[in-house]
Structure 1
Amino acid sequence: MPRFHISTDLTSGSELMLPPGAARHVQVLRLQPGATITLFDGRGGEWDAQVLRMGRSDVQVAVGEHHVVDCEATRQVHLITGLMASDRMDWLIEKATELGAASFTPVLAERSSLRLSGERAEKKRTHWQAVAISACEQSGRNLVPVVKPQVAFEAQMKSVQASELSGQKLLLSLAEDAIPLRQALHVGQDEVTLISGPEGGLSPKEEAAARAAGFVPVSLGRQVLRAETAPLAALAVMTI
């Protein structure tokens, strides 16, 4: 059944106009009045909905019964990732959302190939949030991971130290002292913050800053994975 995210709070028994993107999708699918779709607003669970009216560019629906459906991973993984080329970031956010990532914090690292600021940075964040929403619609997730504003790597590490971040803190690393990820994971730990670098990895200074902030270096094995592949492999271990 087609699934659509609605940014406003949903209530059983109400009627509403679908946002433009969802309305276009309904029209592309050639759905007719009486057709059933699924809506979710990101607060948890999902709603049945029925198409009431199809206009040239708008679609009206009636919101039906709410269902408590939880497709979330048992472990919340918050991903801090070095900014990389736009197409790679798109792919990472889409697939990481499918794998259950709880949030994304893009960080500007020394070796980041993508450098954004001001309005361009906010437009890109909005785009990545839309990518995450689309991945939730496809994968069946009802809680949308938040894509946070871009921040400098050093500033993020200082923020982590100041906030006394809860849960386990892990750093994907190629260092010789890195512990295998499966071995490092604490049994019963339901929240993890994971750092992954951009193309070229984190600089020695950045890795040292992450360790000083309490992040434990972990390894995925002998293979050197691409910047957009490594966090996905780690997520698969931690969330599936």
Structure 2
Amino acid sequence: MRIPHIYQAGTIEVGTELQLGDDAAGHIGRVLRMQPGQQVSLFNGEGGEYLCTISQANKKNVYVSVDEFHDVTSESPLKIHLGQGISRGEKMEFTIQKSVELGITEITPLFSERCGVKLQGERLEKKHQQWQKIAIAAAEQSGRNFVPVIHLPIKLEQWLTQPSDETKLTLHPRAEHSIKTIDKLANFNATAMRFVVGPEGGFTDAEIAATKSADFVDIKLGPRVLRTETAALTVLSALQLVYGDLA
């Protein structure tokens, strides 16, 4: 049986007893119904994982003894930042979850002209917290010891103008370049990339022009038009295959 891999924020020290946070304790105590004596693997996002033994467990509180530290990683050598046009309902959650499984480093949800989702104030903050929890759960499930950052949503033009030395890519069905040819770009960076994907309605002509002004290079994935959630995951998979660790 696989040892559960659980995120626990904060300091974890070998040789100590640790009370788990509410989310970790709830997952272990209520969902998995684990008992004292069973083992869990904890990670705090700072690298490596900690093998622990449950010393006390109920539906509200879980205590573990921290037995060993293992300096292991499943992170890709390729750092990828996705700028994702916010999509409706579960599509955005699906994109975040699967992107984390595929090794994304950062995701910034983007408001654009054709974005059909309106978020602000308390509703925006709750949605952002929900997206980050989805990223944590996906990191747990996929065995990552790093939790990708889900940034607060911003406008597309703000994201495009952020200083960056990454390879910058935009999807376009009639682009000259493909993922296989971006290594010929003058400012190509094989270890750090960012790419932007439009919302369900796509980008306007003015927004496409703005990506070019910000030195983003159009790339194509093939002759078919992909849905926004399919496009993001396809680009990520292709980048990991060619420049990362997907084999």
Q: For this structure pair, what is the TM-score category when the shorter chain's length is used for normalisation? A: over 0.9
Matched, 1:72 2:75: yes
Which of 123, 131, 134 is 2:134 aligned to?
131
The one-letter amino acid paired with 1:4 is I
The 1:119/1:56 distance shift into structure 2, 3 A limit, reads: closer
Q: What is the Cα deviation at residue 188 of structure 1?
A: 6.8
Percent sequence identity over aligned pairs? 37
The code of the aligned residue for 2:177 comes to I
Measure, in 2, the Cα distance between the counterparts of 1:85 and 1:144. Answer: 24
Q: CA deviation at 1:183?
A: 1.7
Counterpart-to-counterpart distance in 2, 1:172 and 1:79: 12
Q: Which amino acid aligns with 1:179?
A: H
Aligned length: 235
2:165 corresponds to 1:166 = yes
1:185, distance to aligned residue in structure 2 (A): 4.1
Give the Cα separation in 2 of the matches to 1:214 and 1:233. Answer: 22
Q: Partners of 2:59 and 2:168 in 1: how far apart?
A: 51
Equivalent residues in 2 for 1:202-221, closer than 5 Å: 202-221=203-222
Matched, 1:196 2:197: yes
What is the CA deviation profile of residues 17-54 of structure 1, one whole-angstrom value per residue up to 9, with x for unaligned ones? 11222222222323211111000000111000110012
| Correspondence 1:1-240 to 2 at 5 A | 1-27=3-29, 28-158=31-161, 160=162, 163=163, 165-174=164-173, 176-185=174-183, 189-239=190-240, 240=246
Deviation at 1:238, TM superposition (A): 1.1
Q: Distance in 1 between matches of 2:194 and 2:149?
A: 14
TM-score, length of structure 1 as denominator length: 0.94
Whole-angstrom distance in 1 between the partners of 2:220 and 2:27 = 42
Question: What CA distance in whole angstroms lies between the structure 1 residues aligned with 2:236 and 2:122?
Answer: 31
Root-mean-square deviation (CA), in Å?
A: 1.4
In structure 2, stretches of 5+ residues that fail to align are 241-245
CA distance in 2, matches of 1:68, 1:56: 30
Helix, strand or coil: the match of 1:38? strand
Cα 1:189/1:56, change in 2 over 3 Å:
closer
Q: Distance in 2 between matches of 1:62 and 1:42?
A: 19
- How high is the TM-score relative to the length of structure 2? 0.91
Matched AA of 2:77? T
Instruction: Answer whether contact 1:83 1:115 (CA < 8 A) is retained.
Output: no
Q: How far apart in 2 are the matches of 1:40 and 1:106?
A: 26
Query: 2:58, 2:144 → 1: CA distance?
Result: 29
Instruction: Report the counterpart of residue 243 of structure 2 in structure 1.
Output: none
Structure 1: runs of 5 or more not aligned: none
- Kindly provide the CA deviation profile for residues 180-208 of structure 1, in whole angstroms up to 9, marking residues without a partner as x: 12222468710001111110211111111
Paired with 1:127 and 1:113, the residues of 2 have a C-alpha distance of 19
